[in-house]
Amino acid sequence: MSITRTLPTSQPLTLLAVAVALLCSPGLQAAPAAADVTAYLVNVTMRPGYNFPNADAALNYGYGLCHKVSQGRSYADVMADVRADYNTSDEYQASYLMSQAVNELCPALIWQLRESAAHYRAPLAVTTRPERTSP
């Protein structure tokens, strides 16, 4: 013999209303991404090739890249600036520095940078790192 309990018809609607209210409350929404200065500094000062004289120089350069992106400069233009600043044709070196700056120092600009880079193609004179092949 089973015992079944019927809920009053208003109870399911009340539960639904509470669930909707909780999901829509500002406290449960995703927080905007926060800048991580330490991660940026570790990633760009420990990696060879940039040779920043100190942390302030690295931060100033990174925030400068953020400023260029926030002003609407295209991915191609900012990449050209980074390659010129470091006198390199290494696409990976330039894109690594730019992505670290935007991801860690100004994460609110990630979408803007991605939109700008959507159809980017490296100039022919720029080198890219070859794919690794298995031995």
Predicted confidence (pLDDT) per residue in 89-108, tens digit = 889 999 999 999 999 999 99
Residues in Cβ contact with 37 at an 8 Å cutoff, skipping those fewer than 6 apart: 59, 104, 105
* Domain annotation covers residue 15: no
* Domain annotation covers residue 18: no
Residues 47-67 as b/e (b if ≥16 CB within 10 A, e otherwise) read eeebeeeeeeebbebbbebbe
Q: What angle do CA 39, 42, 47 make, to 5 degrees?
A: 130
* Domain annotation covers residue 69: yes
* Domain annotation covers residue 132: no
Residues in Cβ contact with 134 at an 8 Å cutoff, skipping those fewer than 6 apart: none
pLDDT of residue 121: 86
Quote the number of domains for the chain. Answer: 1
Output the average pLDDT for the chain.
79
pLDDT of residue 44: 92
Look up the pTM and report it: 0.68
* Domain annotation covers residue 111: yes
Query: Which range of residues forms the domain containing residue 56?
Result: 37-117
pLDDT of residue 6: 58
> Alpha-carbon distance 51 to 71, whole Å?
26
pLDDT surpasses 50 at 62: yes
* Domain annotation covers residue 30: no
Q: How confident is the model at residue 35 (pLDDT cuts 50, 70, 90)?
A: confident
* Domain annotation covers residue 8: no
Supply 29's token pair. 């929404």
The residue ranking higher by pLDDT, 105 or 11, is 105
* Consecutive H or E run containing 77: helix 75-85
> Alpha-carbon distance 109 to 106, whole Å?
6
* Domain annotation covers residue 25: no
